[in-house]
Amino acid sequence: MRKIISAVLALLLITALLASCGGQTPSTASVNSGSGGAYDAVAPEAAPAYSDGKGKTDSQTGNGDLAALTSGSALTSGVIGASLNGDKIIYNFSAQVETTAFDDTLKNLDALLAGFGAFVENSYVSGNSYGNTTFRSAEYTIRVPVGSFKGMTDALPLLGNVSKASTTSQNITAQFIDTQSRLDAYKTEESRLLAMLDKTTTVQDMITIESRLSDVRYQIESLTSTLQNWQNQVDFSTVALHISEVAEIKEQVSAQRTYWERMRDGISGTLNGIGTFFKSLFMAIVVALPVLIILAVLAAAALVIYRTVRKKRAKASQDIDKKE
C-alpha cells in the first residue's frame, strides 16, 4: 500500500511540474505623444472644446462644461471592450494638464469620474496652505472601467490644456492562460490528495500526504491572488493625472524657428532669469534681515572688545620696555 501511495504522489508531482513549465512573456505596446496631448492608437482625437465667449476655450481655462463631461455621447465615445478577441490587456495612461482655474478643474474632474464610473485610488494636492503664493498642483491615480477608458481619456482636454500624454498597453493573455492552467492542475492534485488522505491507514502516509497538500494549497492561494490582481488590472485601467496651475496657457511654439528667433528667446530667457535671481536675492535678504542685524551687533561688539584688549596689551608692553 505504501509503495502504491508513493508512486501516485510521485506521478502527481511530475504532473504539477509539467503544468507549471512554459509560459510566455507578455507583449507590451506603448504609445507616447508629445506636446499637445494627442492620444494616438489607444486614445481618440481630442474632445471638442467649449468657448467661454472671450476667445479662450474651456480646454485652455480648465472650465469644462459639466453637462458635456457627463453627457451620453461623452460616455459612449471611443468605448473599448474588456478584451481584444478575448485577450487580456492592461491599459495605462498618464497625462499632464495645465489650467488657469485650478478649483474649477478639480470640480470638473469629480464630475468626470462620476460620469465614467471611475474612482480615485490615490491623490495628493499641494499648495493649499494659508498664505501660499505659489501655483498649486495635484496628482491623481485613477481607476476607470476598461469600457470607459478611451472615452475618459478623450474627455481630459475639457479639464485644461493637455501638454503631455502617454499610453501603454500590456497583453498578458499567454501568461494568464498559463497561470490558470497551473491553478487547475493544482486544484486537481488537491482533490486527489484529499481522496487519498481519506483512504490512508498509516501515520507516515498521512504525514506525507498532508505535507504535500499544504504545499499545493499554498500554490493555489498564490496563483489565485495573481489571477485576481491581473483581472482587476484588466477590468479597471489606470490613469495617472498631474494637474498644474499656471498663470496663462502658452501656445505651442513651432518647431521650425529661425536663428534670430532662437537668439531672441535665449536673450529673453537670460534676462528673465537675471530678474528672477535678483528678486529672490532681495526677498532672501529681507527675510534674513533680523538675523543679519543680530549678527552685525555681535560682530561689532566682538570688534570693540578685540580692539580694547589689543590696546591694553600694547600699553602694557610699552610700560615694560620703559622700565627696562
Q: Looking at residue 2, what is its pLDDT?
A: 52
Contacts of 240 (CB under 8 A, 6+ apart): 92, 93, 94, 95, 139, 140, 141, 142
Average pLDDT over residues 227-253: 89
pLDDT tens profile 83-111: 456 789 999 999 999 999 999 999 999 99
pLDDT tens profile 213-228: 999 999 999 999 999 9
Q: Looking at residue 66, what is its pLDDT?
A: 56
Task: Please determine, for residue 176, whether its predicted confidence score (pLDDT) is greater than 90.
Answer: yes
Task: Please determine, for residue 211, whether its predicted confidence score (pLDDT) is greater than 50.
Answer: yes
Cell readout for 289 is 534681515
66 or 73, which is more confident: 66
Q: Looking at residue 188, what is its pLDDT?
A: 96
User: Hey, which of 6-10, 34-38, 74-78, 315-319 has the most confident mean pLDDT?
Assistant: 315-319
Kindly report the pTM of this predicted structure. Answer: 0.58
51 or 189, which is more confident: 189
pLDDT tens profile 178-197: 999 999 999 999 999 999 99
Task: Please determine, for residue 239, whether its predicted confidence score (pLDDT) is greater than 50.
Answer: yes
Q: Looking at residue 323, what is its pLDDT?
A: 67
